[in-house]
Chains A and B, each alone.
Chain A
Amino acid sequence: MTLTLLEGALLLFVVGCGLGAALLKDTLASVISFAAYSLGVSIIWLILQAPDVGLTEAAVGAGIMTILFLLALANTVTPDADRLLERVRWRTVALVGAFVVVMGATVPALPTIGDPTAPVVSGDVTQYYLTNAYDQTGVHNAVTAVLAAYRGFDTLGEAVVVFSAGVVALSVLRREVFA
């Protein structure tokens, strides 16, 4: 697998920001690092030609989540950070490292990006969606066709989950109206 300069730089940036979010002692710095991480990941989605996911990551991960985190920080007492980095617990590092090794071990088994012979491309379901999506649903974006037509019932469930999350937040914070 060869990386272009841009991909390599983005990967480095994302990993660095992820480590920063985990290790920085100051919560504000950690939140900012996490937002930068989301921004980097959203650009990576774009490069991997998944603009729908990239748009979501940029809007939700880098946008709304950061604002909500910052608001939560503003409403809580933050202890003064006496040092730059969090104290590292080596048992946690070993556990996370083992997880990374297990996940990383599956990477070589993945098909290369854009491989036309990849199982997911030649699979019956994918081909069915790609050939029939426009004729059957009338929309050009196959992602939307799957989301709102073929898998519409799942999407209704998703929408209800978002709605329920709002209602639950209301009841947890013991308020009756949203604004």
Chain B
Amino acid sequence: MSVDDQPGLYVESTIIMTTVRVVAPFVLTFALFIMFHGADSPGGGFQGGVIAGSVVMMLAFAFGIESTRRWLDIRVVAALASGGVLVFAAIGLGAIALGGQFLQYTEYQPYYADASKYGIELVELGIGGIVASVAIGLFFLLAAGFGHVTEGER
């Protein structure tokens, strides 16, 4: 039993669909702005990631959870989650490999100008990826509930 099968939970509405179609790119841009600009203004990976995740939820409200689930490439979600952790850890451990301490951005300075600033941006992006994909994942997991398991095992 999926969410969309239950009567009354998803209502197809032209107004909501049109609004979401127009607003979604702007919300995603805002999420990226929060992530990137977190170095110089309030925000960062955690907040931007949540906003990016909410774009998918918005789509799910407009077009139905099941259709959004089918449209979404699960490999992207999984890659964002594990990639975020890997990027963060790689930047940290890379500094050790270059002879510094964990996450000592200045170790990258000889190879890239403003290494510290860009290192922090990359870390924020990694965090954003993790948070966005986990938020999306929890959303779809809760929407499916236990119903999907019994359906698959039958």
Contact = CB atoms under 8 A, between A and B. Distances in A.
B44 A74 contact: no
A interface: dominant SS: helix
A165 interface: yes
Contacts of A117: none
Contact of B9 (A64, A74, A160): A74
Interface in A101-140: 136-140
A170 B116 contact: no
Nearest to A71: B142
A56 B120 contact: no
A139 B117 contact: yes
Given A63-B54, A74-B9, A139 B120 contact: yes
B84 A166 contact: no
Given A156-B88, A159-B85, A175 B133 contact: no
A156 B148 CA distance: 33
A175 B149 contact: yes
A92 B142 CA distance: 31
B18 interface: no
A147 B57 contact: no
B interface: dominant SS: helix
Interface in A143-171: 143-145, 147-149, 152-153, 155-156, 159-160, 162-163, 165-166, 169-170
Interface residues of A, number: 45
B96 to A, nearest CB: 11
A137 B105 contact: yes
Nearest to A60: B50
A144 to B, nearest CB: 5
A109 to B, nearest CB: 28
Given A153-B92, A166-B134, A175-B149, A136 B44 contact: no
Nearest to B68: A179
Contacts of A74: 3, 6, 9, 143
Which 7 A/B pairs are nearest by Cβ-Cβ distance?
A178-B137, A51-B42, A166-B134, A139-B39, A152-B103, A138-B117, A59-B50
Given A71-B142, A159-B130, A169-B141, 20 more contacts: A55-B43, A59-B54, A63-B54, A67-B57, A68-B138, A71-B3, A74-B3, A75-B145, A138-B39, A140-B41, A141-B38, A141-B42, A149-B105, A149-B120, A159-B85, A162-B130, A165-B138, A169-B137, A173-B149, A175-B144
Interface of A: 51-52, 54-56, 59-60, 63-64, 67-68, 71-72, 74-75, 136-141, 143-145, 147-149, 152-153, 155-156, 159-160, 162-163, 165-166, 169-170, 173-175, 177-179
13 contacts: A55-B43, A64-B54, A68-B139, A141-B38, A141-B40, A148-B120, A153-B92, A153-B103, A155-B123, A162-B134, A166-B133, A169-B141, A175-B144
Interface of B: 3, 6, 9, 34, 38-47, 50-51, 53-54, 57, 69, 72, 74, 77-78, 81-82, 84-85, 88-89, 92, 102-103, 105, 114, 116-117, 120, 123-124, 126-127, 130-131, 133-149
